Structure 1
Amino acid sequence: MLQKNTLLCAALSTALLAGVTSTANAAVVASLKPLGFIASAIADGVTTTEVLLPDGASEHDYSLRPSDVKRLQNADLVFWVGPDMEAFMEKSARQIPANRQVQMQALSEVQPLLIKGGDDDEHDHEGHDHGGENHDEHHHHGDYNMHLWLSPEIARMSAVAIHQKLVELMPQSRARLDANLKDFEAKLAQTDKQVGSELAPVKGKGYFVFHDAYGYFEKHYGLTPLGHFTVNPEIQPGAQRLHQIRTQLVEQKATCVFAEPQFRPAVVEAVARGTSVRMGTLDPLGTSIKLGKESYSQFLSQLSTQYASCLKGD
């Protein structure tokens, strides 16, 4: 009898320990790498962070694999922008309880900060009347720029929301999560100042970007974009549009045109050829940066350097 009880206790202990272990090892799954930068800083030392979108893929045309769906279902917390950005996740996200996901675009503090997206130059979007503030129409793709991770302010708000959810899910790790949030906010404030200083000398220098992704970053740091080649990078701009851009590059004395590593568009080179306009590259997904405690700050710094090096023409 004593041996049976001992075995029963051992079995219960193993089961309980397995439960604790599975909770402790459960992952935060972020849709895109820059969201992984934010999440990994808050979850550091508490749980792992994984990213769905592989390096080199585009959030604009990705399709979930069966293994991705499984990772989403098993995740303790899913962090994404929302259906207006990651349309590929919308169906799977409906199966995830609200207390196990943070949706950037749905955060109440973020909604007043949303800025309009550029008009699509290849086809017009239907306009919506926002006078009555019909909330269902508030986030149609094309109306608002959903590259929210490029705003340091929205990144901080998202970090607070992730911290709150993880404290609810893992109250035993509160002290570490609190410390992580404090560190993230301090590092972000420091980086924000440094980036502001690095970009101050290039304010007023005009440039074109490949696609309409950078509005939050540009607004935050007071940069001077002249325009973009396309709203959706999957749609190559037509000949008429390219002629317009080339004319603007010359007339508005643009300093730079920026390509992106995800697309390497030959059209950017073609438009800049024969002009004095310099070519640079901006990486809105931080492809070469590894997830870690300071990766979001590294991401902001890298983007700042990419802007500054081309605009200064060092």
Structure 2
Amino acid sequence: MRFLPFLLLIFTLQALAAKKALVVVSVLPQKTIVQGVAGDLVDIEVMVGKGFNPATYQPSPRQIARLSRAVLYVRAGMPFEQSWLPRFTAVNPAMAILDMREGLKLLPAQGHHAQDADPHIWTDPELVKQHAQRLRDRLDALFPAHKSRFDENYSRFAARLNALDRELQTTLAPVRGESFLVYHPAWSYFAHRYGLKQMAVEHEGKEPNPRSLARLIETAKRAHIHTILVQPQHSAATARVLADAIGAKLVQMDPLEADIFSALRKLAAALTAQKS
């Protein structure tokens, strides 16, 4: 029996040694990207879970505590990061930070001041690929023993993104140049990539006033819009009013869905269905 505490200590040390490095990301689509490059070599945690709004999110004490063992934090440019990231680094000064917007050609957030960049780069497969390459380089530097695995994973992930991009180019060719209407303007990069025009109900994070809503109704009618995209993180009340006014249907489309591939295919299907 005297050896039991010693054996428990050995098992505990082995369990600790077997723990994978922790990478933390801000929103769910980033998890798909990290998994695509890192595979099963790291653990991944997401700060803003399903259904939560990154504009108003407040990390839990447990999440803050977990950051103390994170090796890398991949920021997305979401509003909550502005005030919380300094606190994250205070908890873990050794944690590396990678901004997923780094080195990319960014678009201004629609309806905001020009200096505010739209963070939703995962809606463009080409931008995802460019970010994934920088993520691979950072992981190579942090974990050189796994460099060949990261490089192989990236190559496979990039090939999947290239195939998705070709598929979307073909699917969306019939609606190129047309407009689509959303509540919250989260699809700017998608629209830019595939030659579409995104119109938004929300302006600078605010509901439209009656005059703006009337103008939007007229614009939507002229554009022959029959579908309004709404997302689960925002109220759809104003979108319903607009839908009734122009005879459109509401379609829920989540730009924060974890599976980037599925989300973009669903969006393409909704936009092409609008034409039929």
Per the TM superposition, whether the score is higher than 0.5 is yes
Does residue 217 in structure 1 map to residue 212 in structure 2?
no
Does residue 201 in structure 1 map to residue 198 in structure 2?
no
Which whole-Å CA distance do the structure 2 matches of 1:297 and 1:304 have between them?
Answer: 11
Structure 1 pair 257/19, CA: closer, same or farther in 2 (3 Å)?
Answer: closer
Report what 2:218 is aligned to: 247
| Deviation per residue, 1:150-184 (Å, 9 max, x gap) | 22222112211221222222222222211111110
Aligned residues: 269
Does residue 312 in structure 1 map to residue 275 in structure 2?
yes
Report what 1:299 is aligned to: 263
Report what 2:100 is aligned to: 104
Does residue 50 in structure 1 map to residue 14 in structure 2?
no
Report what 2:144 is aligned to: 171
1:282 CA drift (Å)? 2.2
Unaligned runs of 5+ in 2: 1-6
Residue in structure 2 matching 1:238, options 205, 209, 212: 209
1:58 CA drift (Å)? 0.7
| Deviation per residue, 1:43-69 (Å, 9 max, x gap) | 212112221111100111101111121
Q: TM-score, normalised by structure 1?
A: 0.76
1:278 CA drift (Å)? 3.8
Report what 2:4 is aligned to: none
Residue in structure 2 matching 1:21, options 14, 18, 26: 18
1:19 CA drift (Å)? 6.5
Q: TM-score, normalised by structure 2?
A: 0.85
Report what 1:260 is aligned to: 231
Structure 1 pair 282/19, CA: closer, same or farther in 2 (3 Å)?
Answer: closer
| Deviation per residue, 1:218-249 (Å, 9 max, x gap) | 00011133x2111455x333323222211222
Contact 1:257 1:272 in 2 (8 A): yes
Which whole-Å CA distance do the structure 1 matches of 2:65 and 2:98 have between them?
Answer: 18
Residue in structure 2 matching 1:188, options 155, 161, 165: 161
Report what 2:135 is aligned to: 162
Amino acid at match of 2:62: S
Contact 1:28 1:78 in 2 (8 A): yes
Which whole-Å CA distance do the structure 1 matches of 2:153 and 2:130 have between them?
Answer: 14
Report what 1:275 is aligned to: 246
Which whole-Å CA distance do the structure 1 matches of 2:78 and 2:87 have between them?
Answer: 11
The two structures, once aligned, show a CA RMSD in angstroms of 2.7
1:194 CA drift (Å)? 0.7
Greater relative contact order (CA < 8 Å, ≥ 6 in sequence): 1
1:97 CA drift (Å)? 4.8
- Report the more deviating stretch, 33-42 or 85-94: 85-94
Residue in structure 1 matching 2:35, options 22, 40, 44: 40
Contact 2:254 2:263 in 1 (8 A): no
Contact 2:183 2:231 in 1 (8 A): yes
Q: 1:48-87 counterparts in 2 under 5 A?
A: 48-82=43-77, 86-87=81-82
SS in 2 for 1:31: strand
Contact 1:43 1:49 in 2 (8 A): no
Contact 1:83 1:89 in 2 (8 A): no
1:17 CA drift (Å)? 5.2
SS in 1 for 2:64: helix
Which whole-Å CA distance do the structure 2 matches of 1:160 and 1:16 have between them?
Answer: 35
Unaligned runs of 5+ in 1: 1-9, 128-139, 290-294
Amino acid at match of 2:214: H
